[in-house]
Amino acid sequence: MSILVGSNSKVFDPMLEAGIGVRTFRAYRDQYNFVPTVWPAKDSVPDAPVTLSIRPMPADLLAGRLDDQLKSFIAAAPPGVKLSAWHEASNLPGYPRDDYVTSQNMTAVHQYMQELCQGSNVRYGSIICAVPSQTKAWMGTGLDWYGLDIYDFPEGQFRGLLGKLSRDKLFARLDDMLRTCRELSGRDNPQIDICETNSPRQGHRAEWYTLLAEWLTANGGERLLTFWNPTGSLSGPWLADDQAAISALREIAAA
């Protein structure tokens, strides 16, 4: 399976202008209970499928109060789109945890959304940013796909001697994701995507992307989505003159 390379929506066109064959992107609709009427799309690459995150309130969703909006939105989906609710539910700061965003609620939300998407162009999945085997209760069972947001965290979980990237440590986390998703999906080859990723260290980026692409290729992964935030401590701004990172992404996309 070929890997689709992409980014968060704002950096899609700058990456395309750099000669990278970006063919997918990540978008967010973070207002609680907001259900779009139109799927996000890119004029520059109209057939680039989106991975979209939304935040339906569990009580309203599970009571069916969003059914009409969601069914209409899902029915209008173009081929290849992926949908997720409450990305990084287990650990993203700011979520209303006591009443709404709990592992029990997320289990029910994922099951409900999966059923709504059956028979449509939409593939539904969950996205985490944590140790997968410790986050099973948040991930849902039997979903179409599973997503991992993973970074070269400043704490150095994926670094070895002298601060260099450690292939063994990174692959151990990814292998943990594979084992967990096999268990949750009931499939030997679950669909796994990297939905956000980057390194705050410019010198690490080319190797970081290459390692992730290597693992995804070996394990049937489909999407490798970089994330860029000018003020973010996990990524930083897109750098149009970072030839090492650009060359690595070009090669992955071309392959």
Instruction: Place 96 in a pLDDT band, splitting at 50, 70 and 90.
Output: confident
Classify burial at 227, counting beta carbons within 10 Å of its beta carbon; exposed 0-12, middle 13-18, buried 19 or more. Answer: buried
Whether the model pTM is above 0.75: yes
Taking residues 81-93, report their average pLDDT. 96
- 99, pLDDT greater than 90: no
The b/e string for 34-69 (b: 16+ C-beta within 10 A; e otherwise) is: ebeeebbbbeebeebbbbbbbbbbbeebeeeebeee
Domain boundaries, the chain: 4-254
The per-residue pLDDT for range 156-212, each reduced to its tens digit, is 999 998 999 999 999 999 999 999 999 999 999 999 999 999 999 999 999 999 999
User: What is the per-residue pLDDT for 189?
Assistant: 96
Q: Helix H segments across 157-242?
A: 167-185, 205-218
How far apart CA 145 and CA 51 sit, in angstroms, is 11
Taking residues 115-133, report their average pLDDT. 98
User: What is the per-residue pLDDT for 1?
Assistant: 53
User: What is the per-residue pLDDT for 98?
Assistant: 76
How far apart CA 129 and CA 198 sit, in angstroms, is 13
User: What is the per-residue pLDDT for 225?
Assistant: 98
Q: Long-range contacts of range 184-187, CB-CB < 8 Å, 24 or more positions apart?
A: 184/136, 184/139, 184/140, 184/141, 184/142, 184/143, 184/146, 185/141, 185/142, 185/143, 185/146, 186/141, 186/142
CATH class of the 4-254 domain in this structure = alpha beta
Which percentage of the chain shows pLDDT scores above 70? 100
The per-residue pLDDT for range 5-49, each reduced to its tens digit, is 999 999 999 999 999 999 999 999 999 999 999 999 999 999 999
Taking residues 144-152, report their average pLDDT. 98
Please measure the distance between the N-terminal and C-terminal CA atoms of the chain and give it in whole angstroms.
10
